[in-house]
Structure 1
Amino acid sequence: MEASQEFQVDLHWQESQKAILSAVIFNDVIEVASYSCLKKSDEAAWSAEHLFIASVESSYMTGFFRAAKHEGLTFKSYKSTARASILISDEFSEITDIVIRPVVVITERDKINRALKILSICRDHSVVLKALKVRLHIFPSVIIS
């Protein structure tokens, strides 16, 4: 069965005000920088680059959750860190690599290999990651608790 969905995010900025991201389905808004993170600023707001990396990282997580559910893997917790490398020149700037370091906590020692396998294939279950043209590096860890 095939289905499609649409997602809408609205951005509003007016002179002398902060930029705000919102979506009709959420009560909260996100304050975003009206500058690139490549430019130094005192403004304490998420830049487009931060939002992009957060999107990649959260998409990897949801891909893991989907694959873990499909494979019957139960886990106690999930956390990750994502870091992007940006090439900056006078003519252009581009994100060249993104490194994600997910850490999954499981309770059963005999499920370590299954968890690692899921961490290696979950990028195939992620809509955002499939759209990337940047090099993505995953360094997973599994902890027994």
Structure 2
Amino acid sequence: MSDTHIYTTSVEWTKQKRGALSSASLPTLEVATPPNFPGGHEGIWSPEHLFTAAAEVCLMTTFLSLAEKAKFAFRSYKSEAEGKLDKVEKGFLMTKIHIRPTVVIAEESRREEVMKLFEKAEKYCLISNSMRTEVTVEPLVLVK
């Protein structure tokens, strides 16, 4: 694997405060100003949603990679994330992202192992590590 990776995107204005976000061989996403800003739109991905999602998805993919490497079997993974946009001295800033992943495992005896995987995933998540935003992770492990 190379030490450098390039990811390209393009966005094209479509109407009002909306656009089409694309990248080669990926589905196009409609993007817009969020609804809480003047002229914003409901039901469309905003930069704030995508920023929050980037940290959440990175945590998941890092966890999945670590679990695979450790040969750790689990039944399911899902998460929710909340990104907080605050007005600060310089204007608006994404100040915090709180991620709440839930993992279902088969045996109680493996709970500590999954928590260690989350610690490592949080430590090695390259997107979160690239952000100035505070990113917190609050895992929930269920046994079923």
**Unaligned ranges ≥5, structure 1:** none
Aligned residues: 143
The letter of the residue matching 1:104 is V
1:101-124 deviation digits (Å, cap 9, x = unpaired): 000011122111000111122023
TM-score by length of 1: 0.87
1:52-90 deviation digits (Å, cap 9, x = unpaired): 101110011011111111222111110111012221258
CA distance in 2, matches of 1:116, 1:61: 13
Q: Does the 8 Å CA contact 2:14/2:20 hold for their aligned counterparts?
A: no
The letter of the residue matching 1:72 is K
Sequence identity, in percent?
Answer: 27
**Unaligned ranges ≥5, structure 2:** none
- Asked if residue 7 in structure 1 is aligned to residue 10 in structure 2, the reply is no
Shift of the 109–2 alpha-carbon distance from structure 1 to 2, 3 Å rule, reads same
Matched residue, 2:143: 144
TM-score by length of 2: 0.88
Shift of the 37–117 alpha-carbon distance from structure 1 to 2, 3 Å rule, reads farther
Once the two structures are superposed, the pairs formed by residues 69-84 of structure 1 within 5 Å of their partners are: 69-84=68-83
Matched residue, 1:104: 103
Q: Which is richer in strand?
A: 2
